A and B are shown apart, each in its own frame.
Chain A
Amino acid sequence: MYNAQMVIYEAEYQRLTEICEKLLRDSMARAVFLVDKVGQLITSVGQTANIDTTSLASLVAGATAATGGLANLLGEEEFPSHYHQGARDSIYIALIGEQLILTIIFDNRSTEGLVRLRVKRAEGDLKRVFSDLSQKASAAAETKNNSLFSEITDEDIEELFSDTF
């Protein structure tokens, strides 16, 4: 259980990014982020230059986890989406399957209804890619093909800290 890694390969990263780009155009959004439930950013597209994407991913996952906690309190399994409306920008957050959170930031060029509709269309595509990815990752784990870590030495670990702290 401990080593339940999430692994993103180049091919799936490209496919996920393309789906997000299409969603960005179709929903007339400012930016689209795909985040995992632990708070790690998988991909982002659109106007992201002025956004701290690492912080955003962590806070989106936190807000989604808290929303899920609220749902459980009420006897609901999940609230599959939540929406925060701002004076200028709004944010729409939707759960995709068990592990992904799709986050769309949009302004008054779009509407919540349009975003919600386009998210529904993207959902199936994202799930398909993620399912392929999961199969690939578990196949790699079984064959120990994903042994990126097996070559790590004690010296590598020591050197990690030398310049940082």
Chain B
Amino acid sequence: MSFINYSSREIILKIVYYGPGLCGKTTNIKFIYAGTNPDARGKLISLETKQERTLFFDFLPLSLPAIRGFKTRLHLYSVPGQLFYSASRKLIMKGADGVIFVADSQRERMEANVISFEDLQENLAAYGYDINTIPFVIQYNKRDLPNAVPVEELRARLNPDGQFPDFESIAAAPNGPGVFDTLKAVVKMILMELKKGGN
């Protein structure tokens, strides 16, 4: 649900990072925080446990330049990945304009990816969204790890028809390849969808 404020002349878009536990959702957001001009970013809020598990959500507000005279603000959220935080995940999906699914490329996490993907579809449906119509991008993360499966294998399970834009990434690497590409892709999709009128 985009938010347009004619008084402050700003548009706010909510983007949610989804995916199984420890796939790198928070790492994506921390990398974006570190790589963004300090004037363009707000405070990063991370509600996580001591074991780096997101307990409720991460939140990062970003300011992009004005578009047609309206400041564009992105509110990035990540959900807790572990299965038993299902209730929290659902709450955070409310009002999402776009979703990034972060898949863990490690072979032993393949089933976790699939389960999380199904969970995402259920949570989207709970708010009347459809994965085929909401702006949605997949990121195959941890491509540098020795136990990473070939991208084709991940695609076969998560994106068999190739209908979703997908990107390879290493969010934990110093230059975080793929992280900004994924974010830009979903922002473009949201704006194009709004341009169309969202129907």
Q: Contact residues of A with B, CB < 8 Å?
A: 1-10, 13-14, 36-40, 42, 52, 54-55, 58-59, 62, 65-66, 68-69, 144, 146-152, 156-157, 159-165
Known: A39-B75, A66-B56, A69-B91. A2 touches B6 (CB 8 A): no
Q: Which B residues lie within 8 Å of A14 (CB)?
A: 7
Cβ of B195 and Cβ of A150 under 8 Å apart? yes
* Chain A at the B interface: SS class: mixed
Candidate in A8, A37, A39, A152 with the most chain B CB atoms within 10 angstroms: A39
**Residues 65-116 of B at the A interface (beta carbon under 8 Å):** 65, 67-68, 70, 72, 75, 87-88, 91-92, 94-95
Cα A42 to Cα B1 in complex, Å, equals 14
Q: Which B residues lie within 8 Å of A65 (CB)?
A: 91-92, 94
- In the complex, how many residue pairs between chain A and chain B have their CB atoms under 8 Å apart? 141
In the assembled complex, B37 has its CB within 8 A of some CB on chain A: yes
Cα A65 to Cα B90 in complex, Å, equals 10
Q: Contact residues of B with A, CB < 8 Å?
A: 1-8, 11-12, 14, 32, 35-37, 40, 42-43, 45, 47, 56-57, 59, 61-65, 67-68, 70, 72, 75, 87-88, 91-92, 94-95, 127-130, 133-134, 180, 184, 187-188, 191-195, 197-199
Cβ of A157 and Cβ of B191 under 8 Å apart? yes
Cα A14 to Cα B57 in complex, Å, equals 32
